[in-house]
Structure 1
Amino acid sequence: MTALLSFMGTIGVYWTAKRLHRKKPILLFSPLLLTPAVLVAVLLWTQTPYESYAAGAHYLSDMLQPATVAFAVPLYKHSALLRKHAKEIIAGVLAGSAAAIGSAVWLAELLHLESPLAYSLIPRSVTTPIAMNVSQTIGGIPAMTAVFVMMTGLLGAIIGPFVIRLCHIRSDVAKGILLGTSAHGAGTSKAFEISSVSGAISSVSMIVAAVAALVAVPWALSFVGTL
């Protein structure tokens, strides 16, 4: 029964947050922020163990993988554009990924995080399914990595448009690279609000960033504890 309530309750909270954000699009009502805040408050109030909640809610997490694969549709539609700007996309994503991983290592050292927590933080800048797998592989805590990914995506989706306006970025390609690399799924959703081209570029940027993380994150571990 608890598993069913967890599953339905998560959907209900997200649906309510979505409606509130549509009526009043402010940060407080962002589904990415409001949903986990309400769920954590309910779990603490009812003293429900996370394991009991995850028994039903994990089905929603499992849907992230096919949802990520669905980004292939805009990639196919804009394949010619992607080939045309392949060099710019790869260069931009690699630079952004290096900055993201480097800043995560620096932050872990600055806060003197224990190794499992530090390893959970480093893959924060790629999409959740891949980040959790990388975290588990290197000795991190996948659940904590999911939290860090969510925080990164939310902040990137909020700050990204501000950076675009501040830097007077007009190219849809550049907007897509910025949002997809810095804020993965949340940034890609924001990019699609700008244009289908930005969304497609953001989708492929997110994928390239994930591949880069698979290669670079294990190498970055050698710097933890040495800075």
Structure 2
Amino acid sequence: MSKIFYICSYGGSGSTMLCNALLPYGKVFHIHSRNPPDKLEYVGKEGGGNTLDLWFNGIKIPEDQLHKYHVIFIYKNPIKSIYSRFQNAWHLKHIQSANYSLQEVLEQNKDLYGIEEFYDNYSSINNKRNYNIYCIKYENIFQQQNNLSRLLNIGPLNLIKKESNRKYNTEEIDKLNLIYKNLIEKQENNNFIMMNNKQLIINKNLPIYKPIKKKHFLNTIKLY
């Protein structure tokens, strides 16, 4: 059975890293849609759609095909994500956010990017969905990547953490910590893998399979 992975995020959260790690195990789509649909949909031009390759396209996937799909939402401390990607106007368009500057966020003391809304859209319980969303905490993925492999019934991900020496403006960080206090607390209280706002316990006795060499596919877009 061919696996299809939907890797969703608000950006700056390790989603590209995870997409690349999953390539040996199936077809991978990188998604920045703000609202996951109730009925799982194709992405971009798939299934006859006509949207950006990073967005769900409104065309529902047949019920008898849903077993192939694994939907993952990977998230990270929003402040680090902001400094990583949110000063790029194209990225803000991709996550369906208005084009605000960091300075405007700080001046208005609001989550103008709607990061908490984005997070809630994927992590909250929605009994209307015909698929599951696995919510993955970036901060834990390197130590617990084998549990993700077990969950997805795949081989090793071989993820390696790259340390950053970036220095941040202390005054900005203090303000952002206040703006995103509620979201940060939600995320810190989570376990590594959550589904429907509940912790998933992974059986560590499950094997981790060796990858099968295959042609890789990853949806891509132009970077500006």
Structure with larger RCO (C-alpha < 8 A, sep 6+): 2
More helix by share: 1
TM-score (norm 2): 0.23
More strand by share: 2
